[in-house]
Structure 1
Amino acid sequence: MTQSPKPNSPFATHTARSVSLRIAGLPGAAIVLSFGLVLSVWALLGAWSEVPDTILPAPWDVWGAALELWYNGSLLTDLGASLGRAGIGFAIGSTLGIGVGLLTGRVAIARVMLGPVLSLLRPIPAIALVPLAIVWFGIGEGSKYFVVSYTVFLAVWFNTHHGMQYLPETYLRAARSLGATPRREFVSVMLPSVAPHILAGVRLGVALSFLSLVAAELSGASSGLGFRLQEARQYIRTDRMFALLIILGALGAAADFVVQRLGAKLVHWEQA
């Protein structure tokens, strides 16, 4: 019989490293295992008669509710409305956040004038602005765009501002000693250095765009995933609530994955 390697032997160490590398190289297996475990526990609780469906619907009931939304056509309509609002609000908020963050991070007068005000606005949650947004822009699309772009703007601004403010001065001195013009200094030194911070802010903004979107759609909307959640609550359709929450989570995870992959290609020097 072949003897198993001793725990502290070089062969055992090499084997453990190989196994860990194989596991690390299979993120799909980890995802399947994680979701499989959660679904198994969820199915057991759903099958337990002591837990009412209005509290915790079974996975198959949630799947049935999702199919019901799909076949009656409301899911596609709500997805289109929500993705459009989140996309437009994210584009406005991230663009303004990057621009203002670059400005306040390097220009002292802009930092003094805008920094305290923006720091005061950051703790205000998006849902608290919904009544004000309705007063300002009505119950149409403008109020939704405002709430989403406000939330995204603050997240992207903070990360961009932080990266720009703490840019190592040695980089700038080295560029100036080589005769770089201010434009060349900005394009070749500042932007590459602050790009990872911008990417982190954009990834956070993607997640916050969906969070604030639901807050915006909970009142004054006639379509969208947030509106459908509110409707399901009124009719105590917990299965629909779970289905819509899972769809929202999947959309957010997919958007974050896309931004992460694009960021890895654009900010490739950070991966080295």
Structure 2
Amino acid sequence: MKTGATAPRSTAAEAPARTRRRSGRPSPGEILLSVGSAALGLLAWIALAHSGIQGFPGPLPVLKRGWDLIGDGTLFSDLGASLRRVLTGYAIGVALAVPIGFAMGWYPIVRRLVEPWLQFFRMVPPLAIIPLAIVLMGIGETPKVFVIFLAAFLSSVVSTFQGVVSVDSTLVNAARVLGAGDGRVFLGVVVPASTPFILVGMRIGLGAAWATVVAAELIAAQSGLGFRMQQAQLYYDLPTMFVQLVVIGAVGLAMDRCLLFAERRLTGWQERR
């Protein structure tokens, strides 16, 4: 009787924690850890700035330089150019990767035809294609968007394909036993089960897109965050370089959090640790 009386209390006490795990909401302790991590990172930056490294700027000079770039409109102009390239290439890459990944996972003949080429191009870094893309497509926006598209596409298509082939066959067979056809099985079982894989691939592809756009702008661009870093390098303008790095990291983090929010909304049925 004593054991039976204490079990409900334990279950009730653990319910809020389970609810937070399923919803993905951070606990107060997790928020405190995140704030503490940010504070430690800032302190480490200040320590490096005072460690004697020649020219290494601290947070205040970087903040002041960022304010100057905001005041004359340069920062927003460069950020807009980079964002336009990233979003265009990324959107095209994901839009093509998801259906191709589904087709590869669902139809064995498509997998045999496409996968060797996919694995071949995965071994070629998108950064190595930038010079070739510039030679073939010119120095306009097209080669930059193309290499961003390639980076996002390769990350997303592999994750989508892996999501389809990783679907539990028991679920598929159960749906077929209940009378579901291929279309119902695909839409009702395969697509929901593959969604977490797709969103993980989208997050990886987003990071690859940002890395690629900066590299492309370092080589051939007249605007953008990467271009501004390359110009600052010529004049050993470290505060300007740090401003671009901070902006890239902050914007990329915000975009990643948006994808993570979408993942939690679309995969709320999953049990989370």
* TM-score (structure 2 length as normaliser): 0.86
- Provide closer, same or farther for how the CA distance between residues 271 and 255 of structure 1 changes in structure 2, counting only shifts above 3 A: farther
* Whole-Å separation in 1 of the counterparts to 2:153 and 2:46: 40
SS at match of 1:268: coil
* Partners of 1:264 and 1:271 within 8 A in 2: no
* Whole-Å separation in 2 of the counterparts to 1:37 and 1:162: 38
Structure-1 residue corresponding to 2:53: 51
* Whole-Å separation in 2 of the counterparts to 1:247 and 1:63: 11
- Provide closer, same or farther for how the CA distance between residues 184 and 123 of structure 1 changes in structure 2, counting only shifts above 3 A: same
SS at match of 1:269: coil
Structure-2 residue corresponding to 1:261: 261
Q: What amino acid is aligned across from residue 168 of structure 2 in structure 1?
A: P
Structure 1 residue 271: Cα displacement = 4.4
Structure 1 residue 261: Cα displacement = 0.4
* Whole-Å separation in 2 of the counterparts to 1:134 and 1:187: 41
SS at match of 1:222: coil
Identity of aligned residues (%): 37
Q: What amino acid is aligned across from residue 143 of structure 2 in structure 1?
A: S
- In the alignment, does 2:37 pair up with 1:34? yes
* Whole-Å separation in 2 of the counterparts to 1:247 and 1:80: 12
Structure 1 residue 176: Cα displacement = 1.1
Q: Spell out the pairing of 1:1-272 with structure 2 (5 A cutoff).
A: 24-48=27-51, 50-53=52-55, 56-271=56-271
Q: Which moved more, 1:38-47 or 1:69-78?
A: 38-47
Structure-2 residue corresponding to 1:9: none
* Whole-Å separation in 2 of the counterparts to 1:165 and 1:235: 52
SS at match of 1:270: coil
Structure 2 spans left out of the alignment, 5+ residues: 1-12, 18-25
SS at match of 1:51: coil
Q: Which moved more, 1:109-118 or 1:132-141?
A: 132-141
Structure 1 residue 25: Cα displacement = 2.5
Structure 1 residue 141: Cα displacement = 1.1
Q: Calculate the aligned-residue CA RMSD, in Å.
A: 1.8
Structure 1 residue 270: Cα displacement = 2.0
1:19-61, CA deviations, whole angstroms, 9 ceiling, x for partnerless residues?
xxxx95243322222222222232233234x3221xx112211
1:157-188, CA deviations, whole angstroms, 9 ceiling, x for partnerless residues?
11111111222222221111111122111110
Structure 1 spans left out of the alignment, 5+ residues: 1-13
Q: What amino acid is aligned across from residue 156 of structure 2 in structure 1?
A: V
* Partners of 1:97 and 1:157 within 8 A in 2: yes
Q: How many residues align?
A: 249
* Whole-Å separation in 2 of the counterparts to 1:40 and 1:217: 31
Structure 1 residue 217: Cα displacement = 1.1
* Whole-Å separation in 1 of the counterparts to 2:248 and 2:157: 25
Structure 1 residue 90: Cα displacement = 0.8
